[in-house]
Amino acid sequence: MAISKIAGKVQTVLGVIEGEDLGATLIHEHLFIDGKCLFTEPEGASERALAYEPVDWHNLSWLRYHPYQNLDNMRLLDEQEAIDEAMIFKKSGGRTIVDVTITGIGRDPKGIARVSRATGLNVVMGSGYYTAPSLSPEFAAKPEEEITDEIVQDITVGVGGTGIRAGLIGEIGCSWPLHDYERKTLKAAAVAQQKTGACLSVHPGRNRKAPFDVVDILEQAGADLSRVIICHIDARIRDHEGRTQMLQKGCVLEYDLWGWEGHFPTYWTSDDYMDLPNDTQRIYEIRRHIEEGYLNQIVMSHDICAKTRRTRYGGWGYAHILNYVVPMMRQRGITQEQIDAIIMANPRRLLTFI
């Protein structure tokens, strides 16, 4: 498929659609993921048994404090479970899920296409590579140009021999400090963005400096920063001035950890610590950015990448924003028009090819 044929359209796993058909959109989720590269084995011998148990009611309390120290928790592999959880979003008025699972963490084009058919939801698939620990040693020999060509092919031809096409680039995975593999992928993704007109979504390393480092590299590589989404902003840049600096660059800030509050596990961040806001604090941050004129640069999602974030295991699920956050936003002075911009218009602009 020529790029000209998808310009002005959105590309889902089941084909090209009009942007107006997207409706309420979750722009950063995982219907399937094999996050074994995210798993960290506990140091204490008494907890190592818990690390390899299946997620169940008896260990949920421990998992709230150790979400990445249980291997089963980091793997969303069950197709029927994905369908059931996605249907909760649909029944709450949702229309579109963007699955940003990419190479390194178990991208499953055929699986998400089946979920799309079974639920009637639009599903948009990502393209690119995740963080260095998720990649094989052979990746070192892959030239930047080849990575660009792979992303372009995912969008124009399809992934492998499936014929199922990606609709955005990312979430491109980055660590802190940035690995050479990741720097190469970022540059390749920037070029692929120029060639395809797709938006680009980036997972920065777990350090408050990481988003700025990523943006500098992308800007130097020629990326259109107005179509660059900086993921996990609610777990990276925790000061208003820093977020404003990113907005002034033209980037889109993605608040995508709704429902999760407290702190990042200390073993999982290269910062001294990283506090997480609660949902009310997220709303006030967004309201302030809206008041300063940045309404069109905010998007929202949940980043459900672990079992404990799904309703089946006591988590908030894919409908948390629509069912609980949106009413809270209205109560705190954000208008319905502004809410619609964040959950519908902004994703529509980003997912529409240019």
pLDDT in tens, 273-312: 788 999 999 999 999 999 999 999 999 999 999 999 999 9
In a domain, 79, yes or no: yes
pLDDT at 93: 98
**Residue range 173-178: mean pLDDT, rounded:** 97
Q: Does position 268 have pLDDT exceeding 90, yes or no? A: no
> What does the pLDDT look like over 3-57, one tens digit per residue?
878 999 999 999 999 999 999 999 999 999 999 999 999 999 989 999 999 999 9
Q: Is residue 255 part of a domain?
A: yes
Residue 245 above 80 pLDDT? yes
Under 8 Å between Cβ of 227 and 354: yes
Lowest mean pLDDT among 22-36, 110-124, 213-227, 255-269: 255-269
Q: What is the DSSP letter of 319?
A: T
pLDDT at 351 exceeding the cut of 90: yes
Handedness of CA 31, 32, 37, 42 (dihedral sign): positive
List the one residue out of 215, 168, 163 whose CA is nearest residue 193. 168
Question: Comparing 199-203, 223-227, 265-269, which segment has the lowest mean pLDDT?
Answer: 265-269
Q: Are 308 and 60 in contact (CB under 8 A)?
A: yes
Residue 5 lies in a domain: no
Residue 171: pLDDT band with limits 50, 70, 90: very high
pLDDT score of 272 = 74
In a domain, 12, yes or no: no
- Residue 220 pLDDT: 98
DSSP letter, residue 59? G
Domain assignment present for residue 2? The answer is no
pLDDT of residue 5: 86
Do the domain assignments include residue 13?
Answer: no
> What is the reported pLDDT for 191?
98
Query: Residue 3's pLDDT is what?
Result: 80
Q: Is residue 251 part of a domain?
A: yes
**Strand-by-strand arrangement of the 122-125 sheet:** 24-29, 94-99, 122-125
Percentage above 70 pLDDT, the chain = 100
The residues facing 12 across adjacent strands are: 15
Q: What is the pLDDT of residue 264?
A: 78
- What does the alpha-carbon distance between residue 190 and residue 220 come to, in Å, rounded to a whole number? 9
- Is there a domain that residue 38 lies in? yes
Q: How far is CA 112 from CA 31, 90, 94, 231, 244, in A?
A: 7, 15, 16, 21, 35
Helix (H, G, I), strand (E, B) or coil at 230: strand
Per-residue pLDDT for 154 more than 90? yes
pLDDT at position 267 over 90: no
Range of the domain at 238: 19-351
pLDDT reported for residue 131: 98
| Cis peptide leading into residue 171 (ω within 30°) | yes
Q: Is 301 helix (H, G, I), strand (E, B) or coil?
A: coil
> What pLDDT, on the 0 to 100 scale, is given for residue 243?
98
Which residue would you say has higher pLDDT here, 45 or 122?
A: 122
Q: How many domains does the chain have?
A: 1
CATH of the domain at 267: 3.20.20.140
First-residue to last-residue Cα distance in the chain: 15
Residues 6+ apart with CB under 8 A from 5: 16
